[in-house]
Structure 1
Amino acid sequence: MANPYAGEVAVWLDGKRHVAKLTLGALAELEEALAAGSLIELVERFEAGRFTTRDVLALLLAGLRGGGWGGEPRDLLSVEVGGGPVEAARVAAELLARAFTVPGGSG
């Protein structure tokens, strides 16, 4: 099971469970990949439901790398995410939430 206290989220790729988490390095990579003005803008897009598929893929990639995955960006284009696009978006949103909150805490 993924450890929410460590910011971890489980994601299934081609039937194999992986742990994803947004480390500081992963967050920096994410900012660069999305060319977002700030991570707050990305969070606001998710909160408003205005995120793109590119946002979801970038979050998954950053989270998987933060969790130790050795794949390349192109690898995500051909894998089957368990639960499909809806689950991929949920995992991406959960990664953001866990990166900036403490489970059971006030923030």
Structure 2
Amino acid sequence: MANRLRGEITAHLDGRQWTLVLTLGALAELEAGLKCSDLQGLVDRFASARLSAGDLIKVIGAGLRGAGHEVSDAQVGLMTSVGGAAGFAAICSDLLAVTFGPDTAADEDASEDLAEVGETPAVPFPGKT
């Protein structure tokens, strides 16, 4: 089962349930594959909301490999998703949101989880509301 607090999502591809996560290695793979010089370049590219089918393949492939699945981008390109191209876009959007986007409910859950083990939650970036 995917743990969204760790940036994991569950996706249904080829009639099978998969876990995806954009680990630091997966993000580095995306930087290289999408020709972005740094994480901010990736964020800017994704914020444009103009992703090609090739971009979707790269993001989903990196997410699958980040979760430990041995699957190539070529194999991802042959997979099917409920909803077709829109289904792939939804998977990509969800993965990027859980990786980069603030989620108030997840932040609260994380604070509670950390409090249970005696840790303190991280202080948000300056300017974060």
User: Which TM bucket (shorter chain)?
Assistant: 0.7 to 0.9
Q: Which has the larger radius of gyration?
A: 2
Q: Which residue does 2:111 correspond to in 1?
A: none
Higher RCO structure, 1 or 2 (CA under 8 Å, sep 6+): 1
Displacement of 1:102 in angstroms is 5.1
- Distance 1:100-1:49 versus aligned 2 partners, 3 A rule: closer
Q: Name the residue aligned to 2:74.
A: 74
Q: Which moved more, 1:96-105 or 1:16-25?
A: 96-105
| SS state at 1:99 partner | helix
Secondary structure at the residue paired with 2:50? coil
Query: What are the residue-to-residue correspondences of 1:1-107 with 2, within 5 Å?
Result: 1-101=1-101, 103-104=103-104, 105=107
Conservation of the 8 A alpha-carbon contact between 1:46 and 1:93: no
TM-score normalised by length of structure 2: 0.71
8 Å CA contact 1:60, 1:91 repeated in 2: yes
Give the Å deviation of 1:73.
Answer: 1.6
Runs of 4+ in 1 over 4 A off after TM superposition: none
Which consecutive unaligned segments of at least 5 residues does structure 1 have?
Answer: none
Q: Deviations over 1:70-107 (max 9, x none)?
A: 11121112111233211211211221221224532377
Distance 1:53 1:42, change over 3 A: farther
**TM-score relative to the length of structure 1:** 0.84
**Deviation at residue 50 of structure 1 after TM alignment:** 1.5
Whichever residue aligns with residue 77 of structure 1, its letter is G
Please provide the CA RMSD for this pair: 2.0
Quick check: 1:9–1:21 contact (8 Å CA) kept in 2? yes
Percent of pairs identical after alignment? Answer: 36
Q: What is the number of equivalent residue pairs in this alignment?
A: 107
Greater shift in the superposed pair: 85-94 or 11-20: 85-94
- Flag structure 2 segments of 5+ consecutive residues without an equivalent: 108-123
Q: Which moves more between the two structures, 15-24 or 95-104?
A: 95-104
